A and B are shown apart, each in its own frame.
Chain A
Amino acid sequence: MSSTTVNDTGSTPRERPPLLVAGPVAWMRANLFNSWLSSAVTLALLYLIITSVLRFIDWALINAVWSVPKNPQGIVDATACRDIKGSGACWAVISDKYRFILFGRYPFEEQWRAALCIVLFVGLFVVSAMRRFWRQELAYIWIGTLTLIGILMWGGILGLDYVPNDTWGGLPMTLILATFGLAFAFPLAVFVALGRRSTGMPAVRILCVVYIELVRGVPLISVLFMASVMFPLFMPAGINPDKLLRAQIGIILFGAAYLAEVIRGGLQALSKGQYEAADALGLTYWQKMRLIVLPQALRMVIPPMVNNFIGSFKDTSLVLIIGIFDLLTSAKVALAEPAWQGYSTEVYIVLAAIYFVFCYSMSRYSRGLEAEFSRSARR
């Protein structure tokens, strides 16, 4: 009572300090504790996150075994891992098998070539992502890089030892299936998309529609089975394309149908005036497409094309089912080794991280590009 009267010198009562409107406390009040329900959710989630993160750190870092001894015969002694099973991670499986998981059965001394191919692939992706390369030269860059990758992987010339492709495996294989798949599917997809849009040629349009809808209606596995089982029957006697080529063709034919739909979206989104202007200039059909329509339409669909590529990058893991040695297959084979049976969680986490790094960076890129496109379209 007395304190208030003493401070109350003037006629106006003393104002309470303003509510916090900025700073971490205000932010937390607005975003974490803005109602009793929200506060309860925050507390429950915090409890869950903290306990599970602590348990994960315990398992993955504190109790983990990072390497195990190897006897002179090259046989690992995984007793240390067996002792901590359940309470700690056994990263020794990675440190022991990482070369095999990454490169499969590629000859050990030649694995620098496969590693170089991974670098080339990443470089190719980075170059393709840069806008200054979005021109016709990009096609030559792709052709050149893919040829170089083929030479590096196969060898047989330039003093490189020949490595048959049934020993390829691991990450290069995943990248090959996805990237070569895209490179060959792309021209096919452009023609199919144009065919589906063509008004003057109903027979061709029907052909393209049937192809697209048939492929999109069935799962990739059935296409891969077809490639691995039925393909040899299709060929004349004596000709038997190897397993990798058959799977690659299956992936190309499958991917082209999806890619064609993406490209068709771009062809449709292009304003009609562009088509009419090209016609008015007296350009032939192919001139119109090559000079006016496709450069604009393809640019527009780069973000969905990147998403499409992410999908097929993940989908290449399905080749495991027909016995092709991609990243996932080589990991499964590494896990089949007696010493490492039962440590699949560790291996799967590493694989997931590899796939995640590739896919997440591509999807961030595509989203950024999309935002940029829609900004410039609105301007």
Chain B
Amino acid sequence: MSGATADPRMNSRKPPSRGLSLSWSDPRFRSIVWQVLIVGGVAAIIWYLVANTARNLEVRRIATGFAFFDRVAGIPIGEHMIDYDPAIHSYGRAMWIGVLNTMKVSVVAIVLASIIGTLVGIARLSKNWLLARLAAIYVETIRDIPLLLQLFFWYTLVQGLPAPRQAFKPVAGVFLSNRGIKVPMLEWETAHWWAFAAFIVGWIGTAAWARVARKRQEATGIRPKVWPAGLALMIAFPVVVWAALGAPFVLEMPALRGFNFVGGFTLSPEYGALTIGLTLYSASYIAEIVRSGILSVPNGQWEAAGALGLRPGTVLSQIVLPQALRVIIPPMTSVYLSIAKNSSLAVAIGYQDVVSIANTILNQTGQAVEGIAAIMAVYLTISLSISLFMNWYNARIALVER
């Protein structure tokens, strides 16, 4: 044994470094062969389909590519949040209106469903037996009926409202008729933009003050009040700005002229039915999530908070819900995703969302591949954004462990 060689046992401990042997008994070789075969098979199928499609498109003389997005659309669109004239504007703009309409219904449904779902979820845990039973019946029934059927039901109900001449008038200036819901609209002026900016500034200021308050609470145990600052910054400040600019306030009232209304802001029957149906359906899922989230908080937390002398409302909002949120957020994300995807049922009741408009476009141009690719791209983007946002929020509220 010469001193130059190291401990022989060290050498024997090193795993034998064999090269890739071309033998079926080598697992690495096997896995490479399998991967090549599977990926190759999938690629061959895709190539075959693409080749078929290309040939079929050629035979049917259908153009390819997204150039049609620049052509004049000629599709009438009832509800548009941005300017649109079918004789001037392009398919691309029509598509964009569809995206905005999808977002309009999804965002509103997400917000409303979260509020209603949380209330129903808490109601299911109420000590009041009747309230808890009613909430349970609501959840069980709504979940077990297809959303599409519910949408048809709401749509029929909305269409069954009286004609504009006999419209319901629950409050002055608000009309409920089969042409939709008409509400007065504020005439928007520069002063309102400034007031809105002031509100944003106030919001940021309040958030900053809340941070300071929390720091001080951690340091001294005394929490400075946040709500007076919030009231002053978010409500009073914008009002002062608005008043300083002359306090313009003109309401455009809807009025019956002939057989229909003019003026005011309209929520179409289709939009109304879709929002109501989507909200109530999704709220039943959210209620279950909230309920199980609250149940996941150990009883000791309620009791300890009670022992500290906190009132039941405070216990729920300060102790239980923040802990329940950690359980609630991940499944909530998937409900939000399904709200966005379910809003595509709009096509069945004639609300012009992105699927409905893209469907019209692909019927007119015959470019099915591009149309469906566009729909999928839009939804993938929406899904991805919701996932990213909720993951960020989840990471923010997650328990910080030392």
Please report A residues at the B interface, Cβ cutoff 8 Å: 31-32, 34, 38, 41-42, 45-46, 49, 200-204, 207, 214, 216-222, 225-226, 229-230, 232-237, 310, 314-315, 317-318, 320-321, 328, 332, 344-345, 348, 351-352, 355-356, 359-360, 363
Contact = CB atoms under 8 A, between A and B. Distances in A.
Nearest to A225: B372
Contact of B149 (A201, A234, A237, A352): A352
Which of A41, A222, A317, A356 has the largest number of chain B CB atoms within 10 A?
A222
B149 A355 contact: yes
Interface in B347-402: 347-348, 355, 359, 362, 368-369, 371-372, 375-376, 379-380, 383-384
Given A233-B368, A237-B59, A352-B145, A201 B35 contact: yes
Contact of A222 (B59, B375, B384): B375
Contact of B131 (A45, A222, A321): A45
A42 B347 CA distance: 41
B344 interface: yes
Contacts of B384: 217
The 3 closest A-B pairs by CB, nearest first: A359-B144, A31-B129, A219-B341
A42 B128 contact: yes
Contact of A344 (B152, B345, B372): B152
B49 A234 contact: yes
B67 interface: no
A46 B131 CA distance: 10
Contacts of B141: 356
Nearest to B144: A359
Nearest to B379: A218
Given A234-B49, A236-B52, A237-B56, A355 B145 contact: yes
B379 A219 contact: yes
A134 B100 CA distance: 49
Contact of A363 (B34, B144, B368): B144
A200 B30 CA distance: 10
Contacts of B57: 233
Contact of A318 (B31, B127, B129, B345): B345
B53 interface: yes
Contact of B53 (A203, A234, A345): A234
B161 interface: no
Given A200-B27, A320-B148, 10 more contacts: A31-B130, A42-B130, A200-B28, A200-B31, A207-B39, A218-B379, A222-B372, A232-B56, A235-B56, A237-B55
B369 A222 contact: no
A41 B145 contact: no
A315 B146 contact: yes
A348 B156 contact: yes
A348 B372 contact: no
A142 to B, nearest CB: 24
29 contacts: A31-B129, A34-B128, A41-B128, A42-B131, A200-B31, A204-B35, A207-B38, A217-B376, A217-B380, A217-B383, A219-B379, A222-B376, A225-B375, A229-B368, A230-B53, A230-B368, A230-B372, A233-B57, A234-B52, A310-B144, A345-B153, A345-B156, A348-B149, A348-B153, A348-B156, A352-B149, A355-B146, A359-B145, A360-B144
A221 B128 CA distance: 41
A321 B149 contact: no
A328 B383 contact: no
A317 B149 contact: yes
B197 interface: no
Contact of A355 (B134, B144, B372, B379): B144
A32 B368 contact: no
Interface string B37-55: 0110010000001001101
Contacts of B344: 219, 221-222
Contacts of B27: 200
Which of A32, A41, A207, A225 has the largest number of chain B CB atoms within 10 A?
A225
A34 B127 contact: yes
Contact of B369 (A230, A237, A315): A230
A321 B375 contact: no
Contact of A317 (B148, B157, B368, B376): B148
B140 interface: yes
Interface of B: 27-28, 31, 34-35, 38-39, 42, 49, 52-53, 55-57, 59, 127-131, 134, 140-141, 143-149, 152-153, 156-157, 341-342, 344-345, 347-348, 355, 359, 362, 368-369, 371-372, 375-376, 379-380, 383-384
A359 to B, nearest CB: 4
A202 B39 CA distance: 11
Given A222-B372, A225-B359, A348-B156, A38 B128 contact: yes
B362 to A, nearest CB: 7
A234 B47 CA distance: 10
Given A201-B31, A363-B144, A348 B128 contact: no
Contacts of B371: 229
A219 B362 contact: no
A214 B380 CA distance: 8
A216 B147 CA distance: 18
A200 B130 CA distance: 56
A38 B312 CA distance: 14
B127 A207 contact: no
A32 B128 contact: yes
Contacts of B127: 31, 34, 38
A32 B130 contact: yes
B331 to A, nearest CB: 12
Contacts of B128: 31-32, 34, 38, 41-42
Contacts of B355: 219, 221-222, 225
Contacts of A355: 144-146, 149
Contacts of B49: 234
B380 A203 contact: no
A318 B148 contact: yes
B281 to A, nearest CB: 10
Contacts of B149: 317, 328, 348, 351-352, 355
Contact of B52 (A203, A226, A229, A233): A233
B42 A207 contact: yes
Nearest to B45: A234
Nearest to B57: A233
A355 B142 CA distance: 11
A41 to B, nearest CB: 6
A45 B362 CA distance: 50
Contacts of A49: 134
Nearest to A357: B144
Contact of A41 (B59, B131, B140): B131
Contact of B156 (A38, A217, A344): A344
Contacts of B144: 310, 314, 355-356, 359-360, 363
B391 to A, nearest CB: 14
Nearest to B346: A221
Given A42-B128, A320-B348, A345-B156, A201 B34 contact: yes
